[in-house]
């Protein structure tokens, strides 16, 4: 019988996968309290308990610009250990397919756009998230090494910026959409200005968490054997942080109070990704429109404000 272990099963993408697969007893959604994956012994014991035939590896130490810039050692060391242990245990326990999750933010800073899978190691990442990026790049290197030496089927998916219900809305550690949603919510509640850090000019591609979950499950269930694949909307869907902030402010009916703090860092200007490889395999992606996705995320945040991560 198939047994699929999802590390980081209590996070944004893990919860989205749970919604996609429903009440399926073949899926085991592990959380941090089940095992400290930075500890090989605990990771090994988790694999011994579950005996997975497939693994979706989502667990990571993640955060937004502030966390990446101010906690570089933790971002590097914890992610290196987590990835090393999960991949090694997947090999030891004969896992048939492992899907590890990277991010387009780990690509080189100075590189021609749009980026594709072959460009991952073509230069250093942006200084604002360099240690996280290098740790995540090593996951791809480790998976590729096992594929080449032992003929494993370890695949790295590389999504663009993920957002949706069950995200982390912490004002310091969150990514851009959940952070702005929480900031706008508090600004309106306290009758203050909705201040966005930076100029709002940087461009990003965003993918709704349930879309990513659906595509990951498709890769898991189909006979696909590739080293890495970018999961992103089309290039035309790239959108500025300014536009994202405006969509959020409009949803809260608070646009007139939106301002930008241009003394704050913008981070990397753009990370435009090419999804040709994915579309050649999958076909029409049929992704949730950003306006609809933001509406759904804000509704979930308000409905679950007392319980959500913030």
Catalytic residues: 132
From residue 199, alpha-carbon distances to 195, 203, 259, 267, 305 in Å are 11, 11, 9, 10, 28
Burial 42-53 (b: 16+ CB within 10 A, else e): ebbebbeebebb
Residues 6+ apart with CB under 8 A from 306: none
CB 259 within 8 A of CB 180: no
3-state secondary structure 234-263: CHHHCEEHHHHHHHHHHHCCCHHHEEEECC
For residue 98, the surrounding DSSP H or E stretch is: strand 97-101
- Measuring CA to CA, which residue among 142, 133, 102, 114 is closest to residue 277? 114
């Amino acid at each position: 019988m198939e047994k699929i272990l999802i590390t980081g099963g209590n996070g944004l993408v893990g919860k989205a996968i749970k919604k996609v697969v429903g009440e399926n007893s073949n899926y085991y959604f592990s959380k941090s309290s089940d095992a400290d994956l930075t500890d090989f012994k605990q990771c090994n014991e988790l694999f011994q308990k579950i005996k997975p035939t497939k693994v979706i590896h989502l667990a990571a130490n993640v955060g937004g610009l502030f966390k990446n810039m101010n906690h570089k050692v933790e971002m590097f060391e914890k992610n290196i250990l987590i990835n090393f242990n999960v991949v090694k245990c997947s090999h030891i326990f004969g896992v048939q397919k492992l899907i590890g999750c990277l991010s387009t933010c780990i690509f080189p800073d100075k590189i021609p756009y749009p980026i594709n899978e072959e460009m991952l190691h073509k230069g250093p990442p942006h200084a604002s998230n360099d240690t996280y990026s290098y740790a995540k790049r090593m996951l791809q290197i480790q998976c590729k090494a096992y594929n080449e030496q032992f003929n494993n089927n370890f695949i790295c998916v590389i999504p663009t910026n993920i957002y949706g219900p069950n995200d982390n809305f912490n004002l310091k550690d969150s990514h851009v959409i959940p952070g702005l949603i929480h900031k706008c919510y508090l600004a309106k509640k306290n009758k203050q200005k909705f201040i966005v850090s930076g100029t709002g000019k940087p461009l990003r591609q965003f993918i709704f968490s349930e879309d990513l979950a659906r595509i990951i499950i498709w890769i898991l269930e189909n006979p696909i054997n590739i080293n890495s694949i970018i999961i992103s909307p089309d290039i035309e869907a790239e959108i500025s942080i300014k536009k994202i902030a405006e969509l959020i402010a409009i949803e809260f009916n608070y646009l007139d109070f939106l301002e930008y703090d241009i003394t704050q860092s913008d981070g990397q200007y753009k990370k435009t990704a090419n999804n040709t490889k994915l579309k050649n395999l999958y076909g029409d992606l049929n992704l949730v429109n950003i306006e609809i996705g933001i509406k759904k995320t804000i509704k979930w945040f308000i409905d679950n404000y007392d319980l959500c991560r913030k």
